[in-house]
C-alpha cells in the first residue's frame, strides 16, 4: 500500500457515488468498526443544507464504516471535501477493527465543533441531519455491506424534516 492511505468513512462517504465526487480513484478496501466512538451531528454544512455526521468519543460505543484506499496525492481533495480548510472537520488517525479482527490505522475526520452529548433518539432539532444526508449514509451503509443491526440503528436517526437535495455543484467545487 505504498503511496496510499486507508480512510475510514462513516457518513455520506459510505456511498461510492458520493466518495467518487472528489476522489474518483478511491478503492473500497473493506469495512471496519471504530470502537469507543459514536455518530453525532454537530455542525451545519452548506453541502447538505443541514447537519453532517461526525464521530465523538464514547466508551463502549462503536461506529461501523467503509475503509477506502486513497492515493496520497488525492488526500488534499479529501481534505477539501471534508471542509478542513473551512475548519469544519480535522483529520485524525484512528484504529479500525476489521470483521476478521485485524487492526488498521486509518485516516478519518472529526468535526472541530463540540456539543453536549445527547442520545441520537433525542437529538435536538437544531442538530438533526436532512433526509437527503441520512439516505446517502444509509444507502452507503447497505452498499458497503455494514452489519444489518448497524444499518437498522442508522435508520432510527431522526431527520429535520427538510426536503432539500444535496448541492451537487457545490460538492464538486469543494474538491478543488
- Predicted structure pTM score: 0.92
Residue 171 has pLDDT above 70, yes or no: no
pLDDT band at 176 (very low <50, low <70, confident <90, very high): low
How large a percentage of the chain has pLDDT more than 90? 69
* Residue range(s) defining the domain that contains residue 20: 4-173
Q: What is the CATH number of the domain that holds 155?
A: 3.10.490.10
pLDDT for the residue numbered 126: 86
Number of domains comprising the chain: 1
Confidence of residue 165 (pLDDT cuts 50, 70, 90): low
**Residues carrying an active site annotation:** 82
Q: What is the 3-state secondary structure (H, E, C) of the chain?
A: CCCEEEEEECCHHHCHHHHHHHCCCCEEEEEEEEEEEEEEEEEEECCCCEEEEEEEEEEEEEEEEEEEEEEHHHHHHHHHHCCHHHCCEEEEEEEEECCCCCEEEEEEEEECCCCCCCCHHHCCHHHCCCHHHHHHHHHHHHHCCCCHHHHHHHHCCCCCCCCCCCCHHHHHHCCC
pLDDT tens-digit readout, 108-153: 999 999 888 888 878 888 899 999 899 999 999 999 999 999 999 9
**Could you tell me the pLDDT band of residue 175, with boundaries at 50, 70 and 90?**
low
Quote the pLDDT of residue 48.
80
Residue 44: pLDDT over 60? yes
Q: Is the pLDDT of residue 170 over 60?
A: no
The mean predicted confidence, pLDDT, of the chain is 90
Amino acid at each position: 500500500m505504498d503511496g496510499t492511505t486507508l480512510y475510514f468513512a462513516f457518513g455520506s462517504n459510505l456511498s461510492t457515488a458520493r466518495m467518487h465526487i472528489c476522489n474518483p480513484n478511491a478503492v473500497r478496501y473493506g469495512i471496519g468498526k471504530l470502537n469507543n466512538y459514536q455518530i453525532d451531528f454537530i455542525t451545519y454544512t452548506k453541502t447538505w443544507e443541514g447537519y453532517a455526521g461526525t464521530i465523538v468519543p464514547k466508551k463502549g460505543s462503536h461506529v461501523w464504516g467503509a475503509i477506502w484506499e486513497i492515493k496520497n496525492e488525492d488526500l488534499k481533495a479529501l481534505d477539501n471535501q471534508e471542509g478542513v480548510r473551512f475548519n469544519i472537520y480535522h483529520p485524525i488517525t484512528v484504529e479500525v477493527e476489521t470483521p476478521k479482527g485485524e487492526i488498521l490505522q486509518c485516516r478519518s475526520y472529526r468535526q472541530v465543533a463540540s456539543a453536549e452529548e445527547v442520545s441520537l433518539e433525542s437529538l435536538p432539532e437544531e442538530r438533526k441531519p436532512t433526509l437527503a444526508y441520512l439516505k446517502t449514509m444509509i444507502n452507503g451503509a447497505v452498499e458497503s455491506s455494514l452489519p444489518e443491526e448497524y444499518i437498522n440503528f442508522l435508520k432510527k436517526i431522526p431527520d429535520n424534516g427538510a426536503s432539500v437535495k444535496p448541492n451537487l455543484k457545490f460538492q464538486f467545487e469543494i474538491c478543488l
